[in-house]
Structure 1
Amino acid sequence: MDTLIPTINRLQEVFLTVGAEVIQLPQIVVVGSQSSGKSSVLESLVGRDFLPRGSGIVTRRPLVLQLVNIAPLQERQKTENGNGINQNASNSYSGVKAEEWGTFLHCKNQIFTDFQQIRQEIETETERTSGENKGISPEPIYLKIFSPKVLNLTLVDLPGITKVPVGDQPEDIEAQVQEMILSFISNPNSLILSVSPANSDLATSDALKLAREVDPDGRRTLLVVSKLDLMDAGTDALEVLLGRVIPVKLGIIGVVNRSQHDINTQKKLEDSMRDEQAFLQRHYPSLASRAGSRYLAKTLSRLLMHHIRDCLPELKTRVTVLSAQYQTRLNSYGQPVEDHSATLLQIVTKFASDYCHTIEGTARYIQTSELCGGARICYIFHETFGRTLQSIDPLGGLSELDILTAIRNATGPRPALFVPEVSFELLAKRQIKRLEEPSLRCVELVHEELQRIIQHCSSYSTQVHNLVAIELAYINTKHPDFADAAQVSASVNSQQISHCQAEALDGGKRWKNEKVAEEKAPPAGFGSPSKGRAINLLDTAVPVARKLSSREQRDCEVIQRLINCYFLIVRKSIQDSVPKTVMHFLVNFVKEHLQSELVGQLYKQTLLQDLLIESQDTAQQRTEVAQMLEALKKANNIISEIRETHLW
């Protein structure tokens, strides 16, 4: 199990290179208010003074502190001289002629053997991102300390909880600090080391309050009661240390911090630990063996190792799942374009092929939510266009008055004995013209569907215009399906014989009545009196209100029957020819010429570079995903090095 904590340290370094937090690694997070003794607790674990000190917020960036236990210098030198391999040694400190030292990840090639320089580097690196105005930054500083006096341990020191901004700190400094702390302790794989001074009311401890927000049962929380020697005379923290005041599942450990006088006089930490143990023996003899800085270090190391062991199976699964997900994402980005010419040709070819497959209904992916491509074009031809044509009445918008007017206009100054053919052609063309609009709309609908597949715009309506124009150019009364005009006229005549006889019997009487009416009418004309009806040169239209004569009714019905018959012939032809024309001149034309047109328009040397240039966002995302995938692979290898037998 001794290898578990160094393994987590290696994982932290791997994921730090990609700046990702997708893996929640086990760690111990130190939380406490300002002046609660956090720094003294951490320095007692290391056995060295190395943390910045001062008034206000001193820790302004998270400090990830990795403690690595190594063999003493003499033992390491013997091992190296004997060409042996120290199980605790690694290439990271092989050949270092120092008892203990530290390294930073942001300058990992530099070794700090002077711990005062480590403190200075922390302050410098803090000011680099946080400035000099006591502001805070969530970007961690990674410090690794190698020493034979430490136990393998990983801790995260966070800024102290503050209430009132000082100097030029932002007004919401309290909220910023709490948000940062919560972001770390919300990790379910983190243990919370809550530091609270014994000379304050633990019931109002801000550190415990934040810990309870994310760990209400206290299963991940270890309470450290600091400054036991500063309690009022006659009081002690025995009830608290026994867990009778505030129950915490991982335990409660009391420690004695160095005083400010000890720090000013540079009292050695070894001497401070001896004095701490003596104080515990005097005031808490029953708890002396379960309190103090040394016991805290052992407890933290043991808790962290067991916690890592418990988290490791889930961690393995998480790394495996994320590796698969990031591999899929990386594949979706494809490879950067190298051969622009060949790549463009491949894209054009595949695009044209997919377009044609969509029209033909052979696409790889078939939609189930709506019609598209060729299926929608078929629906337009046979449902939308077909229903529209069927709904057009052959005689719609054509009144008997229109028919009589056309007949009279076609006969000229002489009355005709038969229905003139010219009037039929005139009216038939008028009705056939009504088929043009729905035919053109059919073209638009098909074109819109083609645009849904490809943004390829052109004009194909001329051919449909021509279809209607062809029908208008020649009214073929000899069409095999067209009714014989003589037969239609005879049929109408036979139906109206009785009406004609009645008209003849009543004709004389009607003429007499009209004659009397004319004689009683007032004089009219150009100002001279006349017994006859006035002649109005502008009155050339057929009266609207009067009843049609039998002959007029016959002529209208003959024209109506002929128009209806011929219109149905033309409509049938249009309904058949428009889809064929659209398919030939529009759909099939696009299918056959799409690829060559794209190549002709796009395959130009001046356009190749611009067309295939990759957006910066895509390139950056591919790089980030590739880096994350590489980190996950390294993490998987690191975890795989741990044998199951090492976990127990």
Structure 2
Amino acid sequence: METLIPVINKLQEIFNTVGAEVIQLPQIVVVGSQSSGKSSVLESIVGRDFLPRGSGVVTRRPLILQLVHVPTLEERRRAATGESGVQADEWATFLHCKHKTFTDFREIRQEIEIETERTTGTNKGISPEPLYLKIYSPNVLNLTLVDLPGITKVPVGDQPADIEVQVRDMILSYISNPNCLILAVTAANTDMATSEALKLARDVDPDGRRTLAVITKLDLMDAGTDAMDVLMGRVIPVKLGIIGVVNRSQHDINSNKSISESLQDEQGFLQKKYPSLANRNGTRHLAKTLNRLLMHHIRDCLPELKTRVNVLTAQYQSVLQSYGQPIEDKNATLLQIITKFATEYCNTIEGTARNIETSELCGGARMCYIFHETFGRTLESIDPLAGLTMLDILTAIRNATGPRPALFVPEVSFELLVKRQIKRLEEPSLRCVELVHEELQRIIQHCSTYNTQELLRFPKLHEAIVEVVTGVLRRRLPITNEMVHNLVAIELAYINTKHPDFIDTAVVSASVSGSKNESVPDGTRRWKSEKGDELITEDRSKGPSQTSIYSSPSRSHAVNLLDTPMPATRKLSQREQRDCEVIRRLIKSYFLIVRKSIQDSVPKTVMHFLVNYVKDHLQSELVGQLYKPQLLDTLLTESEDMAQQRNEAANMLKALQKASLTISEIRETQLWCHVQWCHLLEAATLSEEEWEIELDFEQPSCLHAPLSHCRTHSEPAHFMK
């Protein structure tokens, strides 16, 4: 049966090709401080020198290391498989240059350095962009490891001042993934209680369910001390275990000591120093433990992973569908989009749109608010007599009589003054038209928002639709304004004093004449208006010259007849006061009639000349101006962004479908048998002789291989004793 780890490796490659991390795949993340021995551990697991070395931060971008166990070249030749046609036992490939095969591991190191400097530069900075390396070898177990930059505290050289924060954030972005296992590396010659790796692991995995500790440099501890308590978990317990290893020293590296020799020396050191723990420590045991843990972890994550892939597949199918299919009939496509927009526009006015706004009034509801709240309240707030003083009324009465003294209140003065007040209704009426026009403009944006995909797909068509609708509204605005202006002009053209709601003049005169006069002790008579306002004060003790409309000039001075009499402080006669009050009441009565008429007729006018016209003629206007053969290619030109988004969605959907197919290849029965087989292998000891004794059982039928063959493929040659 195909193992689970290569399946995850395949999924990583699938999703990396589309450049998106939509799925959190199971993997092992290696975390540790600088010079804690992370690189040496990885090289020991691989059995080759391939990682850059040096002082300071050497690993400056994440390295996704995929280890794939393959038969030797001789075995492949006998089996006539010729894996990838590579004539070597071991080789490697990078995802950024997948068609190039590396058989010299020194070239692999150089390629890592070159690719790292390409993205991070030469200033020891770091980059979150991962580097994918896949190594094929008969000497490795199937594993997926992520090597991250070492934890640092103080920037060196020209490193950024926040290098510690950058490294920490990068590490947390990986180990926060609940589907990853954390390999926390700590040097034995440091205090484990101060381990930064274990501290970060505990921050994201407080229960320790995903953390495995590795203690490096066991041979470099102070004389007379050992790591027995640490390895036994007595200092800091770790649920998945603590494994000690011995790294190659710099002297070993300089003297070109092979890793296989180092592994033998490591085993000898453990047998001598920690005989009771030798079989549970060392690089060999670490590799097999990682393989087993990752296998079990993948098994646990697989159901959720499968569900997640299926959900995302459905989502991207919907997204791709929303971007629209390739255009086959441009005429039909254009007509469909125009009709859809016009229908949505009219439905928004009528309140029957599919997407009803809930955060604010929109469309027809806002027009109703404008008519009955904004416009209605504005008219009601206008005082019928605002801006009209007693002096204005009296002046109008005197001017209307000419040179003759007035015997009755002249009707001309009433018309003159009431027209002046009616004229004030025109401005708020025109403002009402403007507000409705603005709302009709806003509906264009509203409809564009809910037809985003189609209109974004064809930006030139979107611009053309907006231009046509705006043009229709712009042409209807002056026509509507003119009609509203005419409404006010109609009211000004004829003052209908016979209107049934208009107050009778005789009743007003009688009411004013019957007003009670109030006498005061000094003999002064005060007249009050309908509202109770004091209008005149007549002092009976003084002569009639004091009650004229204009103050008389002094008899001791000459009078210039060309001078216009200037208003001065004056006291009105009883008759003048009565005439003013009559005019005031008549103006108020007639103004309220006209205001009521305007308040009713302006919304009707706006609806007929503007709103309903646009509703009835919008689609025909759009079709007439846009549905032309010479405009088809221009209007239906897709935006580059939309085309790119469709390609990205199509690629992602293809990757998800391929991932779903890859996962579905793992049969549940095979997975169960493979897990049981792993449990049996886990129960065995490390020695080859004990394996042959302990594993005396019938293998699962799904494996169809003898035990010796299984040991060949599950135990790399350099891990054998």
TM-score, with structure 1 as normaliser: 0.82
The equivalent of 1:151 in structure 2 is 141
The alpha-carbon distance between structure 1 residues 349 and 525, as it changes in their structure 2 partners (threshold 3 A), is: farther
Q: Which residue identity does 2:75 align to in structure 1?
A: E
How much is the aligned-residue C-alpha RMSD, in angstroms? 4.1
| Residue 317 in structure 1 maps to residue 307 in structure 2 | yes
Q: Deviations over 1:299-343 (max 9, x none)?
A: 111111111112222322333333344444445555688987765
Structure 1's 374 and 162: CA in aligned 2 closer, same or farther, altered over 3 A?
Answer: closer
Q: Is the 8 A contact 2:508 2:585 kept in 1?
A: no
Aligned counterparts of 2:65 and 2:287: Cα–Cα separation in 1: 13
CA contact under 8 A between 1:488 and 1:561: conserved in structure 2? no
User: Which secondary structure does the structure 2 equivalent of 1:372 belong to?
Assistant: coil
Mapped partners of 2:416, 2:396: distance in 1? 8
**Residue deviations 1:257-316, cap 9 Å, x none?**
333443334333333323322222222221122122211111111111111112222322
Q: Residue 399 of structure 2 aligns to which amino acid in structure 1? A: N
Give a deviation string over 1:503-525, Cα, whole Å, max 9, x none.
xxxxxxx999959999xx99937
Equivalent residue for 2:64? 64
Structure 1 residue 592 corresponds to structure 2 residue 616? yes
Which amino acid letter does the alignment assign opposite residue 257 of structure 2? K
Change (3 A) 1:344 1:268: same
User: Residue in 2 aligned with 1:574?
Assistant: 598
For structure 2, which runs of at least 5 residues remain unmatched after alignment?
A: 445-469, 518-538, 676-721
Map Cα deviations across residues 381-406 of structure 1 (whole Å, 9 max, x no partner).
Answer: 34444454455555555556544433
Residue type at the aligned position of 2:76 = R
Q: After superposition, what is the alpha-carbon deviation per residue over 1:7-60, rounded to whole angstroms, capped at 9, x for unaligned? A: 111111112112223322111122233433323322222222333334443333
1:360 counterpart letter in structure 2: E
Partner of 2:113: 123
How many residues end up aligned between the 2 structures?
Answer: 618
Are residues 1:548 and 2:573 paired? yes
Q: CA separation of 1:304/1:560 partners in 2, compared to 1, >3 Å: closer, same or farther?
A: closer
Aligned counterpart, 1:530: none
Cα pair distance change 1:428/1:640, threshold 3 Å = same
1:598 and 1:245 map into 2 onto residues whose CA distance is 79
The residue type paired with residue 57 of structure 2 is I
Which residue in 2 is equivalent to 1:464? 484
Q: Which residue of 2 aligns with 1:73?
A: 73
Separation in 1, partners of 2:325, 2:347: 26
Of 195, 199, 212 in structure 2, the residue corresponding to residue 205 of structure 1 is 195
Residue of 527, 536, 555 corresponding to 1:524 = 555
Q: One-letter code of the match for 1:585?
A: F
1:218, distance to aligned residue in structure 2 (A): 3.1
- Quote how far apart the aligned CAs of 1:543 are: 8.7
Q: Report the AA paired with residue 413 of structure 1.
A: P
- 1:200-279 alignment, distance < 5 Å: 200-279=190-269
Partner of 2:213, secondary structure, is strand
- Evaluate the alpha carbon distance shift between residue 68 and residue 413 of structure 1 in structure 2; reply closer, same or farther with a 3 A threshold: same
Question: 2:13 matched to 1:18?
Answer: no
Query: 2:661 aligned to 620, 627, 637, which one?
Result: 637
Question: Contact 2:546 / 2:571 at 8 angstroms: preserved in 1?
Answer: no
Q: Judging changes above 3 Å, is the alpha-carbon distance between structure 1 residues 115 and 462 closer, same or farther for their aligned structure 2 residues? A: same
SS class of match (2:203):
helix
Deviation at 1:368, TM superposition (A): 4.3
In the other structure, the counterpart of 2:442 is 452
Would the aligned equivalents of 1:330 and 1:626 in 2 still touch at CA under 8 Å?
yes
Deviation at 1:94, TM superposition (A): 4.2
How far has the Cα of 1:167 moved from its partner?
Answer: 4.9
For structure 1, list consecutive stretches of 5 or more residues without a partner in the other structure. Answer: 81-88, 499-509, 528-533
Q: Is the 8 A contact 1:394 1:431 kept in 2?
A: yes
In the alignment, is the contact (CA less than 8 A) between 2:509 and 2:582 conserved in 1? no
Q: Is 1:475 paired with 2:495?
A: yes
For the residue of structure 2 that corresponds to 1:472, the secondary structure is helix
* C-alpha spacing 1:605/1:231, structure 2 compared with 1 (3 Å): same
> Aligned residue for 1:30?
30
Answer whether contact 1:525 1:535 (CA < 8 A) is retained.
no
Per-residue CA deviation, residues 577-596 of structure 1 (Å, 9 max, x unaligned), is 32222222222233334445
Change (3 A) 1:104 1:398: closer
Equivalent position of 1:49 in the other structure: 49
Question: Aligned letter for 2:36?
Answer: S
Number of the residue aligned with 1:506: none
Distance 1:233 1:576, change over 3 A: closer
Tell me by how many angstroms 1:6 deviates. Answer: 0.9
Larger Rg: 1
| Shift, 1:67, TM fit | 1.3
2:37 equivalent to 1:40: no
Match of 1:83 in 2: none
Q: Contact 1:32–1:195 (CA<8 Å) still a contact in 2?
A: yes
Give the residue type in structure 1 aligned to 2:184: S
Q: Residue 6 of structure 1 corresponds to which residue in structure 2?
A: 6
Residue pair 2:125, 2:160 contacting (<8 A) in 1 also:
yes
Query: CA, structure 1 residues 482+103, in 2 after alignment: closer, same or farther (shift >3 Å)?
Result: closer
Over 3 Å counting, the alpha-carbon distance change for 1:164 and 1:539 in structure 2 is closer
Aligned to 2:521: none
| Cα displacement string for residues 220-246 of structure 1 (whole angstroms, at most 9, x for unaligned residues) | 222222233333443332222222222
Taking only the aligned residue pairs, the percentage that are identical comes to 74
> Is the Cα contact below 8 Å between 1:405 and 1:542 reproduced in 2?
no
* Letter matched to residue 634 of structure 1: K
| Alignment map for 1:136-147 (pairs within 5 Å) | 136-147=126-137
SS in 2 for 1:461: helix
Question: How far off its partner does 1:249 sit?
Answer: 1.3
1:531 is aligned to none
Q: Distance in 2 between matches of 1:304 and 1:554?
A: 105
Deviation at 1:472, TM superposition (A): 1.8
Q: Which amino acid aligns with 2:601?
A: S
Q: Please report how far the alpha carbon of residue 469 of structure 1 lies from its aligned counterpart in structure 2 after TM superposition.
A: 1.5
1:366 aligns to 2:356 (yes or no): yes
Scaled by the length of structure 2, the TM-score of the pair is: 0.74
Which of 61, 72, 86 pairs up with 1:96? 86
Task: Name the CA shift for 1:565/1:197 in 2 (closer, same or farther; >3 Å).
Answer: closer
Rounded to whole Å, the distance in 1 between the matches of 2:605 and 2:553 is 65
Aligned runs of 1:268-347 on 2, under 5 Å? Answer: 268-334=258-324, 346-347=336-337
What CA deviation, in whole Å up to 9, does each residue of 1:52-72 have, x standing for no partner? 334443333322211112233
Question: Partners in 2 of 1:135 and 1:5 — Cα distance?
Answer: 32
How does 1:598-617 map onto structure 2 within 5 Å? 617=641
**Secondary structure at the counterpart of residue 286 of structure 1:** helix
**Residue identity in the other structure for 1:356:** C
Deviation at 1:77, TM superposition (A): 2.7
Decide whether the 8 Å contact of 1:37 with 1:227 is kept in 2.
yes
After alignment, is 307-316 or 437-446 more displaced?
A: 437-446
Secondary structure of the residue aligned to 1:271 is helix
CA deviation string 1:73-114 (max 9, x = no partner): 33333333xxxxxxxx7x9x3443332322221222222233
**Secondary structure of the structure 1 residue equivalent to 2:399:** helix
How far is 1:133 from its partner? 4.1
Aligned partner of residue 463 in structure 1, secondary structure: helix
Asked if 2 retains the 8 angstrom alpha-carbon contact of 1:327 and 1:629, the reply is yes
- For 2:159 and 2:615, the matched residues in 1 are separated by 68
